[in-house]
Amino acid sequence: MQDNLSHARGWFLKADSDLAAAHRIVDGDGPYDTACFHAQQAAERILKGVLAFGGRPIPLVHDLDELHDLCLAAELAPAIARLDLTALTPYAVRLRYELAFWPDREIAQEAIALAEDLRAAVLAAVPEEARP
């Protein structure tokens, strides 16, 4: 079984991959819904990395509010308390089923910025060995 630091690092690396994809998409001509999806995935993976760092169970959910609450309860990254991730959660599922939902570049950029704020707050709270 992986130790907590390498497990967390694996989640953070996956999150960085999602952020890189989101940036490539938003820096081009889209599709911006896909950039939003990758921003949500990055945030989800960052929060799951926090839970992994703390040796906590990682639920199979996409609800960022639920994951955020679990991280706050574990007191592993207190700086994330200031972040409201509610806007990102729908991008995990809504984009798959709501065929008329087409966010623009600005919405995608906001989603990416929020995921990056989360990343910065979390990486400041974990040891260097867990960081990507």
49-79 pLDDT, tens digit per residue, is 999 999 999 999 999 999 999 999 988 899 9
Neighbours of 17 (CB within 10 A): 15
Task: Please name each of the domains of the chain with its CATH number.
Answer: 4-130 (1.20.120.330)
The pLDDT assigned to 76 comes to 85
* Two structure tokens written together for 83: 């972040």
* Cα atoms in the Cβ-side hemisphere of radius 13 Å centred on 26: 23
Give the three-class secondary structure for 63.
Answer: coil
Q: Residue 2 has what pLDDT?
A: 60
Q: Which two tokens stand for residue 49?
A: 């990395």
How far is the C-alpha of 80 from the C-alpha of 45, rounded, in Å? 14
Q: What is the pLDDT of residues 31-51, one digit of tens each?
A: 999 999 999 999 999 999 999
pLDDT in tens, 76-102: 899 999 999 999 999 998 888 888 989
Residue 1 pLDDT greater than 60, yes or no: no
